[in-house]
């Protein structure tokens, strides 16, 4: 059971979590690159070039029919995803990502390629069980964003490892994830979107500009 501190809620509401996979897709908003003729966003773009596969509203670079079509007209299997032809299509598409910041370019290409391999399931959108728990201090010490009002919240339970165990433990099934990478600042990068009490005055996460410099205003 992963324990996460959510920094970004999906535009459709607080039950959706955007995981931000490299070239993982966007919808109405696109701050990734003006070379992609879909979506729009005013201001700076994160990349100088970006793959158009699966854009917009179709999940970005993925092995499935809306992008790489590795399913060969049928069900998508691990063997089809693992095939050299499929992986080469994915790698070629991911390597279309270019950025003036070399670290950003390298990390984004790697995220795109690795998340689309058969042994990883980050590439899919999932319905998930989730529950609001007290934030572990080792997590909030890293992020610096420490929510108040933690009294009364249950502690994380590492024994919950399966969907059936989560359902029995009172987790909610209304949540879902996406691979969305619209390249826009996440919800918690805007202090006015963090409506709960926080400790030490830190009420947002830093986002970075195209040069990798934290945006503090």
pTM of the prediction?
Answer: 0.82
| Residue 110, in any domain of the structure | no
Q: How far apart are the first and last CA of the chain?
A: 35
Domain with 139, as residue range(s), is: 135-171+186-215
Specify if 193 maps to a domain. Answer: yes
- Domains held by the chain: number: 1
Burial level of 66, CB count in 10 A (0-12/13-18/19+)?
Answer: middle
Does some domain include residue 198? yes
Instruction: Kindly report, residue by residue over 152-197, the tens digit of the pLDDT.
Output: 888 888 899 999 999 999 999 999 888 889 888 888 888 777 777 7
- Give residue-wise pLDDT tens across range 72-99: 777 889 999 999 999 999 999 999 999 9
- The answer to the question of residue 180 being in a domain is no
Work out the mean pLDDT of the chain and round it to a whole number.
Answer: 86
pLDDT tens for 20-67 read 899 999 888 889 998 886 666 666 789 999 999 988 888 899 998 878
Within 10 A of 175 (CB to CB), how many other CB atoms are there? 17
pLDDT of residue 216: 78
Does residue 199 lie in a domain region? Answer: yes
């Amino acid at each position: 059971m992963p324990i996460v501190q959510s920094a970004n809620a999906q535009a459709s509401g607080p039950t959706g979590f955007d995981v931000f996979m490299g070239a993982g897709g966007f919808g109405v908003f696109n701050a990734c690159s003006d070379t992609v003729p879909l979506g729009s966003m005013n201001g700076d773009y994160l990349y100088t070039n970006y793959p158009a596969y699966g854009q917009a509203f179709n999940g970005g670079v993925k092995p499935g029919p809306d992008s790489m079509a590795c399913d060969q007209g049928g069900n998508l299997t691990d063997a089809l995803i693992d095939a050299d032809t499929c992986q080469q299509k994915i790698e070629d598409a991911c390597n279309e990502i270019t950025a003036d910041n070399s670290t950003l370019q390298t990390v984004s290409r790697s995220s795109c390629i690795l998340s689309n391999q058969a042994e990883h399931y980050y590439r899919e959108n999932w319905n998930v069980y989730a529950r609001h728990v007290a934030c572990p201090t080792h997590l909030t010490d890293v992020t610096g964003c420490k929510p108040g009002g933690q009294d009364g919240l249950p502690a994380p339970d590492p024994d919950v490892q399966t969907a059936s165990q989560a359902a029995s433990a009172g987790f909610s099934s209304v949540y879902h994830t996406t691979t969305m990478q619209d390249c826009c600042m996440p919800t918690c990068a805007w202090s006015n979107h963090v409506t709960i009490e926080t400790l030490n005055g830190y009420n947002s996460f830093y986002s970075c500009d195209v040069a990798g410099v934290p945006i503090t205003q």
